[in-house]
Amino acid sequence: MPKHLFRHIPVSFALLAASTAYAQSPSFSLNGTAGLIDMPTAQMLPDGETAWTFSGSGTAYGGTLTFQMLPKLETSVHFTTLPDWTALDEPYFVQGLDLKYQILPESSTMPSLAIGARGFLSNGPLSSEYIVASKNVGHGLTVTGGLGWGRLGSFKPVASFGTRPAVDSELGIDHMFAGDVALFGGVEWDTPVKGLSVKAEYSSDAYTGEQVFGAFEHASPLNFGIDYEPVSGVSVGGYYNYGSDFGFRVTLSGNPNRPIVPPDFGIGPVPVNPRLGDYDRSESWADNPMVTQLLVGALAPVLEAEGIVIEEALITGNTIDLYISNNSMPQTTKAIGRIVRTLSVALPHSVEVFRITPIASGLATTTVEIRRSDLEAQVDRPNAGPDSWASARFTDAANHLPQGAWGRDIYPDFSWSLNPIIPVNVGGNGTAASIDILLNAAASYRLSRGLSVNGSLTQKLVGNIGADAVPSTSLTPVRSNFALYQTGGPTLDRLTVDYDFKLAPSTYARVSGGYLERMFAGVSGEVLWMPTNQNWGIGAEVSAVQQRGYGDMFGFEDYQTVTGHASFYWDTGYHGIEAQIDVGQYLAGDVGSTVTLTRRFDNGWEVSGFVTLTDMPFADFGEGNFAKGVSLSIPLRWTMPLETRSNTGIALGTMGGDGGARLELGERLYTTIRDYDVVDFNETWGAFWQ
């Protein structure tokens, strides 16, 4: 997001505009997006860029998570505190969604052009819309100019487009591109000093509300700043704004396409052992059960060295079926490629068909069928990738192989983990932001492949979530009492019995009972219909729950409810974007819908955002009038050269909203099996030959 500085433009400006543009990355603005200081630009971050910005000035402070969702679409979720917005001696919290779409990219002769909205769908105190153009004119100098509405149209407007509704923070679009419109602009110079840029802008924000309610002085529309990026991914900025105040910004950024360390692909795959034309086609060896047992016994340790565990196996004279768990390789397609290579070396020549079925959380997902003759013909050929994809077959798997198949005798099985957790509550419970550092111990005792007992215990190490917490005055305090649960002692987050199974090859089911999450206990059931050869699915979930006690690990409050949703899932196949729509009844009894958009990258990065709107009155819903949030998940292999499926992440939002509140269950069915449909296999098939 940009940093720009006003300076005199010489007569040679026209010549500079016609010169070859100097390569310059967009810089970050005070509000965490690609922009000037307070004003936007038409520039776009690299595709997939994700940035977390902390900023502060005399008029606002808070955080922003910005994500370049598509090459031409920038999205940002901001959590901002306005200290001088109301007549009361209390800060005003704003949660908002910002969108910017680049209509035209920059060319050698034309500027880039973008249209955007701040506080999209909500006519709040920061709500504004704009059209902006930016052009690199050479030698590291970028010039920006635009038109702003709403807050960006408040200083010396040059025109008016009807009447804009008064600020009310309610959901709607009637205010967009309505009312006064004003000019803004600025310049940024990327200096010869590596990582250093200076900028200046003419702001069209009059800070009207701050002048009315606070002791704010708007002495000048000119803002000036310096940005510095000491190392890649870390950017800081200092600014002198509106002639009377200083501001700062710290931004941490990363990109799934730009790993911190080069990936380590580990040991290369075994070579395919092609059969000669006159190979022995006899299948008589399969009549001896001892032979098949010996074959599986020999395969198991070889694959376990790759992090692949054989759960079930069935071998006939010409076919092998393997149900496997992939415990280390990020892409399941890579695991399948390693398996079929090993089978081509280890199995008798008569075995022609390899059928591999990955298992996820005890559920058999998709059977991938590969013919050995195709593998032999394609390996080390120029078109091996598309040819192998075209010849592979994908079918929904039965949850178990037929009776008589070899089964791995590993149950009961116990596993555990110990991890730090850092929850962040932004703009809720009377504070601008609060944070805890927790230590979480989780354990799972798996009695069979689909049946398990799961527990999670958390101990706060340090933090201020829950400090000075008082009971909520809400009529249905399903989440607004969250701070009362954040005690200093250990908390039982989960203790459940879970059973995952399949009703049919394309229909998955889950039943859970016990202490489902920190605030609710009860029973929950879920069904998902998701055939592997289609990119959409339908699910339903219903839960009967009772609120757990605040200070008693095993106690209960009086509140009981039934909550449930019908869900539609769609893997668009476009830039890894998935959409989910949930419709139903939430924990507080309100009825409505949640829309979630997620972009997933082949290497495991995932950024997700949601918006929830229900029939709960805005006055009861709480700050923002509708629920919204964003989460980020980063694979550990992006930060270190290891083959691992582990990841880390953060979720941002207000914890204390009662409207649109859902149960925080463990992995729901779609999350469990979504990596195993044909769309996902197609997107990651390049790893098959690695």
How does residue 9 score in pLDDT terms, banded at 50, 70 and 90?
A: very low
pTM of the model: 0.84
DSSP code, position 27 = -
CA nearest to 476, candidates 310, 574, 590: 590
Query: Is-same-fold flag (13-254; 413-678)?
Result: yes
Cβ atoms of 624 and 95 within 8 Å: the answer is: yes
- φ/ψ region of 420 (left if φ > 0, alpha if ψ in -120 to 50, else beta) reads beta
pLDDT tens digits for range 594-634 = 999 999 887 778 888 888 889 888 767 755 567 777 888 87
Separation CA 613–CA 631 (nearest Å): 18
Residue 379: C-alpha distances to residues 355, 382, 397, 437 (Å): 18, 9, 27, 50
Strand 507-515 versus strand 627-635 pairing type: unpaired
Architecture of domain 13-254: Beta Barrel (2.40)
The radius of gyration of the chain from alpha carbons, rounded to an integer in Å, stands at: 29
Compute the C-alpha angle 596/599/602, nearest 5°: 145
DSSP assignment of 220-250 equals -SEEEEEEEEEETTEEEEEEEETTTEEEEEE
Cβ atoms of 643 and 328 within 8 Å: the answer is: yes
Average pLDDT of span 587-599: 94
Whether 14 has a pLDDT exceeding 80, the answer reads no
pLDDT tens digits for range 287-328 = 888 888 889 889 999 999 888 999 999 999 999 999 999 988
CA nearest to 443, candidates 373, 400, 493, 398: 493
**In sequence order, what are the beta bridge partners of 171?**
122
Non-local CB neighbours of 358 within 8 Å, separated by 6+ positions: 324, 325, 326, 332, 335, 336, 364, 365, 366, 368, 676
Separation CA 401–CA 381 (nearest Å): 34
* 284-410 CATH choice from 2.60.40, 3.40.50, 3.20.20, 3.30.300: 3.30.300
> What is the identity of the amino acid at 336?
I
pLDDT of the residue at 483 = 76
Cβ atoms of 7 and 200 within 8 Å: the answer is: yes
Average pLDDT, the chain: 86
Strands (E), 464-506: 491-504
Cβ atoms of 296 and 303 within 8 Å: the answer is: no
pLDDT of the residue at 131 = 98
The tokens describing 592, both together, are 């409505």
CA nearest to 389, candidates 366, 367, 370: 370
Q: What is the percent of the chain where pLDDT is above 90?
A: 52
List the CATH code of the domain at 413-678. 2.40.160
Domain ranges within the chain, ordered by starting residue: 13-254, 284-410, 413-678
Cβ atoms of 106 and 135 within 8 Å: the answer is: yes
Separation CA 320–CA 353 (nearest Å): 6
